[in-house]
Chains A and B, each alone.
Chain A
Amino acid sequence: MKPAPFEYHCPRTVDEGTALLARYGDDAKVLAGGQSLVPLMNMRLARPANLIDINRIESLAYIRDDGRALRIGALTRQRAAERAPQVAERCPLLRDALRLVGHAQIRNRGTIGGSIAHADPAAELTAVLVALDGEVTARGPKGTRVIAARDLFVSYLTTSLDPRELLTEVCLPAPPKGAGWSWMEIARRHGDFALAGVGVVLAVRGGKITAARIGLTGVGPTPVRPAEAERLLTGQTPSEDLWNGAAEAVRAAVAPDGDIHASAEYRTHVAGVLTQRALREAWERAREAA
């Protein structure tokens, strides 16, 4: 359980970091919080020849509210975001999801950008990013580009980031004021990866849903945005029948794998149940805010 030898690099600026990535690219891994990468290295499932430790790039740790969206530096610790007043005020869905990312010891080190770049199929943050139509900024040899959440996640642990690119910022458009939200997940133990999880945001006006956003995790190789369920909810007056219909649409939209923790059927079923519960809670919150 010891990692294989590697060359250690410790850039202090984004420019230094991207220069190192341009040089070592395929033979390098970026080390942020290390809460997923270091276990893989300790088990020698990952053996990068070069490790580019970005923990000293202080300019990558920030949370800014630009009026439209929360802009979160890739190196922002999950624990810092979980406790940030801007996150609580502008995007409580993110705060609630963060509370279920691993344990406090993990969130103290784990970063917002790291979790998204790692793209674990059961991660909370990927589903939040997808639900909110977020985007990430990456810098590489060809310059800076912005990647929309829907174009980012390719498969298990795989994103459309180039190995020579450094994810620098995560941008989460804040839901409209008064929108209801809910994060729900089922895990075998507190802090474990979710068997299934769902984030919901409902914008409401005059007793009707004006916009619905749903993002699911743990139910496929990438986070799932169930378009049909969202379409079905939009413009409707909430009722148990409506929640049921949305849950059915979610079940139709997901294709989870079974494993030792839960069968595919169970995960599919739970995804629907959690969606129903999350919709109820989000609706309640929207009503309270109104």
Chain B
Amino acid sequence: MKTLRRITLRVNGTAYTGEAEPRKTLADFIREDCGLTGTHLGCEHGVCGACTILMDGQTVRSCLMFAVQAEGAEMTTVEGLADGDRLHPIQQAYWDHHALQCGFCTPGFLMTTVEFLNDNPQPTEREIREALAGNLCRCTGYQNIVTAVAAAAHTLAAATGALRETGAAVPVSRATGVAAGPRKTRATRAAPHRARQTGKPSKRRSGPKR
């Protein structure tokens, strides 16, 4: 017996409606029903941080929430960072500093970095390392990720400073320009419930154990 629930949530400014069992995690709903596969799943029990997204401006592990719980919430995923072809300054810093190797963990690191630099626009290296501690990189390329976050902080601080000189109001707590309200609004039907399709091989990997 399966009870499907109708779920409407907003991701990157777009409203998605789909039907899912209550046990479907938010991460799976975003990937399978919204079709946004930038959010990755590593361990599926809240250890690796790959599935980190912003919900109402705060980072959450989307594998530890059920989609039904996010009804009405405003989500930002990695797809919401770039402005068209122009990478977000944090993404650009990761690119410039070779902060990704296989790239699997990168979406989670990026979203963690967004919240962190919103909260702490001028972090020390130690603070950066602590802030990233909840995200695992199995290529172990941490050094360059730390460098990239520091560089992104510089870029964003410079941009914020420049804007301040021109008199534009830029709240420091929103230094990254992400996490606030929607940038664009359009309604989209969620993709057909793919979980019901047959013969789809499982690609899930078991993640690192505690």
Binding site for B on A (CB under 8 A): 1-8, 10, 34-35, 38-39, 41-43, 51, 53, 55, 79, 102-106, 108-109, 189-191, 193
- B 37-52 to A, binary, CB cutoff 8 A, 1 in contact else 0: 0000001111101001
In the complex, which residue of chain A has the Cβ closest to the Cβ of B28?
Answer: A2
In the complex, which residue of chain A has the Cβ closest to the Cβ of B55?
Answer: A108
Which residue of the partner chain, among B2, B25, B28, B65, contacts A5 with CB atoms under 8 Å? Answer: B2
Distance to closest chain B CB from A197 (angstroms): 17
What are 5 of the A-B contact pairs (CB < 8 Å)?
Answer: A8-B5, A42-B45, A104-B116, A106-B61, A191-B134
Distance to closest chain A CB from B43 (angstroms): 8
A4 touches B64 (CB 8 A): no
B112 touches A105 (CB 8 A): yes
Distance to closest chain B CB from A119 (angstroms): 17
- Say whether chain A's binding surface is mostly helix, strand, loop, or mixed: loop
Measured as residues with beta carbon below 8 angstroms from the partner, the interface class of chain B is 35 or more
Distance to closest chain A CB from B66 (angstroms): 7
A-B contact count (CB 8 A): 89
B59 touches A108 (CB 8 A): yes
Binding site for A on B (CB under 8 A): 1-3, 5, 21-23, 25, 28, 43-47, 49, 52, 58-61, 63-66, 68-69, 112, 115-116, 129-131, 133-134, 204, 206-207, 210
Residues of B within 8 A of A2 (CB): 23, 25, 28, 44
A38 vs B3: C-alpha distance when bound (angstroms): 19
Of the listed residues B2, B134, B206, the one surrounded by the most CB atoms of chain A closer than 10 A to its CB is: B134
B133 touches A8 (CB 8 A): no
Distance to closest chain B CB from A189 (angstroms): 6
In the complex, which residue of chain B has the Cβ closest to the Cβ of A109?
Answer: B60
Distance to closest chain B CB from A149 (angstroms): 26
Knowing A106-B46, A190-B133, the reply to whether A1 touches B64 (Cβ < 8 A) is no
Residues of A within 8 A of B43 (CB): 1
